[in-house]
Chains A and B, each alone.
Chain A
């Protein structure tokens, strides 16, 4: 049931660092976070890692495992061969603070720029009435645990620090979509989505949906409908059609191509 696994963990800080090799015991049913905790307790007491719930609900223990953005608490060791080296590195999309901990303040800065939820008045009896089918669209996006894996993986900003000022990342595009679809909200955020949050930078490659641990269809259910709503408002249909046919990178309103 138990075996010794080979782990390579990135250790260092903003000034640099490298992968360090460890041999560490793994027991039945364990996840990568269990093994990282065992390293802390037995071999590297100061190994920095974020975590909270250890049940895939809080989105704290995000890292890249063999290069893939994942939650450490939801990555079972049984998905690797016993002779396979498991490499754990910090999220590449954000500056390193120390070891596996990165500076994710970018996300909190973008969150603060979202025009706040603003409800219509309550019904005379003090209640809000909404149908289940109408709340479910926004509920899908409210499942987001803010693990930032979508932000980490999105190629618009992953290796393009320069795009971060103009592009808020998939998490905040679905936040805007959530508010846009919210049955009670009365604010129009379509201009903000395009002009302040960089909706046009997204070229719907769906990488964000692929890494989402909550299985949220960010692109199909959130970003594409939001793009359609923006287009709907901004462009006359004929003009829009023309712009689609003749579209090339760098066209106004589409943003620079990230690739």
Chain B
């Protein structure tokens, strides 16, 4: 078998924020490090992040500190977050942001010349370091340029199809060059998964084609566990019109910078959806909400800036009640509240996006927005300090890892998550490689089997087209495992996923191995189905509503489920096994933070 082979200490899968930060950390520890990514360098999904990086730097509000950020994060996740991850995240995020400046990042400034910080949902103080509304681009470009300057090897447009293991843990990875279709294998004692999320299994999503859940699936198949998979975040504001752009993200910064949500009657309906859990810290009147932008000490946050799960559910309810906008969303209005100059300065990408794609001038007219599948809170279960999975040598950071965000992620906490845990994963992966260096080898039989499996779609003739199967999966997840869930629908989803798994096993692709998107999709589909099954199984089991998981048949939170995580693993027969696991106990000195005044 023709096979290109490489040997490294650490192989990082994925070149978004988490992957590049992990690679930089591993390289700086002296590990021979490679990054393998499906797209060209600099195109990863991080580039689409808009609002900013949450970090309690206290540049605008000296009252801010890691304890407040920690508290906001845990409450935003409805207390299901792994406390230790939330703690490390809040403590380390400011240093991770400052370090980006040493690598060339240029954030917007305060009048004092410090990094400016903006308001966002669920954050008590203005906390998001940002560059207009293109912060993700700044983050990825900075890390990309640092990666290049350090001379780290990057395998671009290369897809991993298998993780390779022996009895002691990870031994490497197997994949193909997208350009040529030729196979390549990496021998490495440490692999860091930084593959992002799963949104491409849904019909309406802000996610790109890369978000197939391949990292989640690879980890599961290698023997790792997934946690919190029932929690999928629907961002409240995606574009709804025209149909071809449905799902494209409209940044939360629009609301952070003063935008409000209105229904067809022109009412700011979010005041009708303030949950008791956040009532004490949320404004009761429009006047108070409007004053808050200038005076946070004496006023409370506008309800438009409740955590995303609350806002998404509210929009969903308004539309269902017949109070939606002409194209099935609601109105997001900043035009009547801020000057055109301010809007163009603070939200240049949004201005451009609506102008170009929807022919709407957001400085003059409201936007039409509705929920879009945006982020999976669930992911590989990891040790909070090292991001190590249950498989020795396998690490996970960023969206593919679970635990940090509990049942719902706050906006801005993703970019900081990438940096904090990307770095930690890289350090731990380098350390693990030192211990296992020289002790790993790739089993020839595994390589042959991986190649056979990858070529199987070419062997079959007359089978179904992969695009049809993908379309049916997206429709299934959209209709049956979406924002609002019920047991009968999810049972139906599981039955359909089982049918789709059979169809995937028989589909065929046309053409040859060179840059063939049909073949690539055929290899992505099993990952998408496995992850969709995990989501549906966990969502069916959790009989309560919490964060990104809303059950029409169990609308309340449940005290028992408040202490329980659901863990997915691969059973010996290949099916998904689900187990309940108690939440780790928060130490008293952290628990008391929640006793402090709101």
Contact = CB atoms under 8 A, between A and B. Distances in A.
A145 B108 CA distance: 18
Q: How extensive is the interface on chain B, given as a class? A: 35 or more
Contacts of A185: 104
B41 A29 contact: no
Contact of A119 (B48, B101, B243, B511): B101
22 contacts: A28-B243, A29-B245, A29-B357, A30-B243, A31-B244, A40-B467, A41-B471, A45-B465, A46-B511, A49-B517, A50-B39, A52-B209, A54-B208, A54-B248, A58-B39, A58-B208, A98-B179, A108-B41, A108-B156, A117-B104, A122-B102, A128-B98
Nearest to A137: B106
B137 to A, nearest CB: 7
B98 A126 contact: yes
Scoring B244, B471, B514 by chain A CB atoms within 10 A of each residue's CB, the highest score goes to: B244
B114 A127 contact: yes
Nearest to B134: A143
B149 interface: yes
A151 B313 CA distance: 45
Interface stretch (B348-356, B523-531, B585-593): B348-356
A98 B465 contact: no
B186 interface: no
Contacts of B98: 122, 126-128
Scoring A56, A142, A144 by chain B CB atoms within 10 A of each residue's CB, the highest score goes to: A142
Interface string A109-140: 00110001101001000111111100100110
B137 A60 contact: no
A29 B114 CA distance: 42
Scoring B113, B148, B465 by chain A CB atoms within 10 A of each residue's CB, the highest score goes to: B113
B243 A27 contact: yes
Contacts of B148: 111-112
CB-based closest 4 A-B pairs:
A29-B242, A46-B511, A129-B113, A45-B518
Contacts of B41: 108
A58 B249 CA distance: 14
Contacts of B349: 57
A34 B70 CA distance: 42
A59 interface: yes
A48 B101 contact: no
Contact of A132 (B103, B109, B352, B466): B109
B101 A184 contact: yes
Contacts, number: 169
Main secondary structure of the interface of A (DSSP, over half): loop
Interface of A: 13, 27-31, 34, 40-42, 45-60, 74, 76, 97-99, 101, 104, 108, 111-112, 116-117, 119, 122, 126-132, 135, 138-139, 142-146, 179, 182, 184-185
B208 A41 contact: no
Given A27-B243, A40-B467, A53-B48, A46 B43 contact: no
Given A60-B40, A101-B515, A143-B134, A132 B104 contact: no
A142 B138 contact: yes
B509 interface: yes
A45 B134 contact: no
A76 B359 CA distance: 10
Given A52-B45, A76-B357, A128-B101, A142 B131 contact: yes
